[in-house]
Chains A and B, each alone.
Chain A
Amino acid sequence: MSNGKDFQPKIVAFCCENSGWLAAEAAARLELGYPEKVELIKLPCSGKIDVLYFMKAMEKVDGVMILACQKENCKFLKGNERAKSRVLQTQRLLKEIGIEEDRVTIQYLAANMGNKFVEIVQNMYDKVRELGPNPGKVIK
């Protein structure tokens, strides 16, 4: 395992189907590229995310994120707020076993923001690349 320049982090991005997922489609229509080792998983709402999903994902990747609708804009009213609190819970769990909290994040965007989607994903990719491989990875 290296933290060298050849390190390509694996990232899972859980996407609300009303924002993150559509923004990814918008990015595709605009033919915008983003790092290939980012896996997208569609959720019916960011509120469907769970600490358990984050933790299971973290067993095999270097960073996880949830892409949620912008504040006050959740179709189910409070899904994005719930998602935020689950991110915080997950960060607390990672912290207590000595894994960087920054490996989990929540980002907010709207369905038409293809550019923003790429920017968010790239930023996360760069940040995790800087952090290096997840030291707690179980499945390599």
Chain B
Amino acid sequence: MIVAERKPIDEILGFLSKHQKIMLLGCGGCVTVCLAGGEKEVGILGSELAMARAKEGRPLEVVQRTIERQCDFEYFEGIRHEVKDVDAILSLACGIGIQTVAEAFPDKVVWPGVNTKFLGVNQNVGVWAERCQACGQCVLDKTGGICPVARCSKSIFNGPCGGSQHGKCEVSADTDCAWALIHDRLTRLGQVDSMREILPVKDWSHSRDGGPRKLVREDLTLESGK
């Protein structure tokens, strides 16, 4: 899932300083699962913002809504009539959702309420870790199901580098060395000899480096566009 974290409260309050009535918009997708921007977080942040502004003697009306997903245009139809009446929308969705809100309501100010962190997994309650960098050309077949692009601090393809010790990365004792994990897993699978092969220079054009990406599947597109 996409993992996000609420922005610092002062930053959010700064965004909203000139507004009297906003919509605080949650998303039922990834940010609900990672406890950053679902219905409950909307409720909590809504209270916090209202209290912070009440304390300043400048009340803020917070319309609290959470929709199925903010990354699909269809779900905005249900709130369109309410959006008319607010000064701005504070979106708690990931960067994708925030941009979709802005696109769906071109005349409305849209503020980001979260920092989108990474694509990751929930390891424990309150603990998430990065797993994928959406590089566009998966190499997990060669690396025992452990991604060196996202999980090696240097994204190298022929690790571990000389900074790997006791299974940890030179960057931090809290960070597992991805290549040590790959080595251990391939050893367990009886495939460690495959690490003798030099993985070739990566074609980064499939990643962000090739420019903004777009996927079109001719087999799925409809004439009407909808």
Contact = CB atoms under 8 A, between A and B. Distances in A.
Nearest to B42: A52
A135 B55 CA distance: 5
A30 interface: no
Given A96-B9, A97-B9, A138-B59, A58 B40 contact: no
A96 B112 CA distance: 19
A50 B48 CA distance: 14
Contact of A55 (B10, B44, B54): B44
A139 to B, nearest CB: 9
B51 interface: yes
A38 to B, nearest CB: 21
Contact of A59 (B8, B9, B51): B51
A137 B54 contact: yes
Contacts of B40: 50, 52
Given A56-B43, A97-B9, 19 more contacts: A50-B40, A51-B44, A52-B40, A52-B43, A55-B43, A55-B44, A55-B47, A93-B48, A96-B10, A97-B51, A97-B52, A97-B55, A98-B52, A98-B55, A99-B55, A135-B54, A136-B55, A137-B54, A138-B59
B129 interface: no
Nearest to A135: B55
Given A52-B40, A138-B59, A99 B47 contact: no
B54 A52 contact: no
Contact of B48 (A55, A135, A137): A55
Contacts of B51: 55, 58-59, 94, 97, 99, 136-138
A136 B52 contact: yes
B54 A58 contact: no
Contacts of A94: 51
Contacts of A93: 44, 48
Contacts of B119: none
A99 B59 CA distance: 16
A16 B54 CA distance: 31
B50 interface: yes
Nearest to A52: B43
A62 to B, nearest CB: 12
Contacts of A98: 52, 55
Contacts of A50: 40
9 contacts: A52-B43, A55-B48, A58-B47, A59-B47, A96-B10, A96-B48, A98-B55, A99-B55, A138-B47
A135 B48 CA distance: 12
The 3 closest A-B pairs by CB, nearest first: A136-B51, A55-B47, A97-B52
A59 B55 contact: no
Interface string A83-106: 000000000011011110000000
A51 B59 CA distance: 22
Contacts of A55: 43-44, 47-48, 51
B178 to A, nearest CB: 32
B108 to A, nearest CB: 24
A51 B48 CA distance: 11
A2 B50 CA distance: 21
B47 A56 contact: yes
Contacts of B52: 97-98, 136
Nearest to A96: B9
